[in-house]
Structure 1
Amino acid sequence: MRRAQETSFAKCTARFNGSSRNADDLEAFIEATEVYRDCTNVSDEHALRGLPMLLVVEAAVRRQGVKSSITSWTDALQRLRGMFGVPRPGYKILRDIFATEQNSERADDVPIYL
């Protein structure tokens, strides 16, 4: 049985620059990359390594700062949405904070990400 050849984003034409701050632009970019991945059999590993080829201007610069902490394709998409998606209103952030129960850890040991 012949194994399908894995490809990369080398011929993908989708690009994201991060300057518009329009969540629809980000979601359109993500959708385009997902469709390309599905149609050309790009693995998660190759997609993660090839993502910098698709990011330009501000998006490329901001990715440089966090690239060492991104470990999966799903994580990369979550980070893009976090950096360039629609900002969450403060009341939703507070609701999430107060919905999380404190277990046995000390309050000063728990990192807070806002």
Structure 2
Amino acid sequence: MAQKADEKPKSSISMSDTQFKELLTTVMTGISSVSPTRTSKTFTSCTARFSGIRESSQVESFLAAVNTFKEVEKLDDALALAGLPLILTDDAAIWWQGSKDNVLTWNDFTDRLRSTFAPKKMAYKIYQEIIEIKQDSQTPTEIFVAEKRALLAQLPKPTHSDQQQIDLVFGQIRFEIREKISRNSISSFDELLMKARDIERNLSERDDASTVESKQDYKQKKARSRCNFCRSFGHTYEICRKGLMMKWDNEYLILRHKMLLLLKLLP
């Protein structure tokens, strides 16, 4: 068939693999250059909060959390300082409002926070807290030892050796645990805690067994009890219904007799 005069022949574009890859790279580069940049993060999603409690452990826990968040999210000092109102509450928020104009770096903020809410204690006061406060039966040994080690960490350098620290803490552990552990058998805090956990578990089982036995003894004693009034088993005279009825009847008769005497005395 003859081709029409005004119809142009179709042309095809051939492209090598290298040329196609170069074209694709150019297109993707152009798309990425016009795509919106990711919004910089701040402490919006940080769950740590500090209300201004004047306690060293609380301050250090808060700083550890926010420092980790800052590093993971790669926040610079300016963004981190600007986001502090999101995580400081109560007294800490009031303090920050009055101090923020003088704080220019993150390290300056952490130093000021420590000096305000967790000022360094004198060494003798730290030793007093370590020695004077003993472990009670409600505090697990793991928590108790952690609190003591936190106090030891506040002591000025040079620090005590591990054995010296164990000596300071060991004497404050409750007697029920300490009597079952030989001090000479402890070479580290991990070993002390491992043995203490086993002892605490045994003590807990003993207490549970004692509670069950006490309840059983009470039930048996109640079942064996016998009333001195009606001579029936299962209750005592103090709660005997027959005895109470008799007592109430007697009181009624006495009251009635007094009323009759009073009426006779009236003119």
TM > 0.5: yes
2:59 to 4, 20, 26: 26
Superposition pairs for residues 1-114 of structure 1, below 5 Å? 6-19=40-53, 21-89=54-122
- What is the Cα deviation at residue 31 of structure 1? 0.4
Aligned to 2:43, the other structure's residue is in SS state coil
1:41 and 1:7 mapped to 2: Cα distance?
9
- What is the Cα deviation at residue 88 of structure 1? 4.2
More helix by proportion, 1 or 2? 2
Q: Could you list the runs of 5+ residues in structure 2 that have no partner in the other structure?
A: 1-31, 33-37, 123-267
- What is the Cα deviation at residue 6 of structure 1? 4.0
1:85 aligned partner, one-letter code: A
Structure with more contact order per residue of length (Cα contacts < 8 Å, sep ≥ 6): 1
Q: Could you list the runs of 5+ residues in structure 1 that have no partner in the other structure?
A: 90-114
1:52 aligned partner, one-letter code: P
Alignment check: 8 A CA contact 1:37 1:47 kept: yes
Alignment check: 8 A CA contact 1:5 1:41 kept: no
1:54 and 1:66 mapped to 2: Cα distance?
15
2:49 and 2:84 mapped to 1: Cα distance?
10
Work out the number of aligned pairs and report it.
87
- What is the Cα deviation at residue 66 of structure 1? 1.2
1:14 aligned partner, one-letter code: A
- What is the Cα deviation at residue 5 of structure 1? 6.8
2:119 and 2:57 mapped to 1: Cα distance?
9
CA RMSD in angstroms, aligned pairs only: 2.0
Deviations 1:14-69 (A, max 9, x none): 000013x1101100000000111111111111101111211000000111111111
2:57 aligned partner, one-letter code: D
TM-score (norm 1): 0.68
Which 4+ runs in 1 deviate beyond 6 A? none
TM-score (norm 2): 0.30
2:76 and 2:100 mapped to 1: Cα distance?
18
1:69 and 1:35 mapped to 2: Cα distance?
24
Deviations 1:43-99 (A, max 9, x none): 11110111121100000011111111111111111110011013444xxxxxxxxxx
Larger radius of gyration: 2
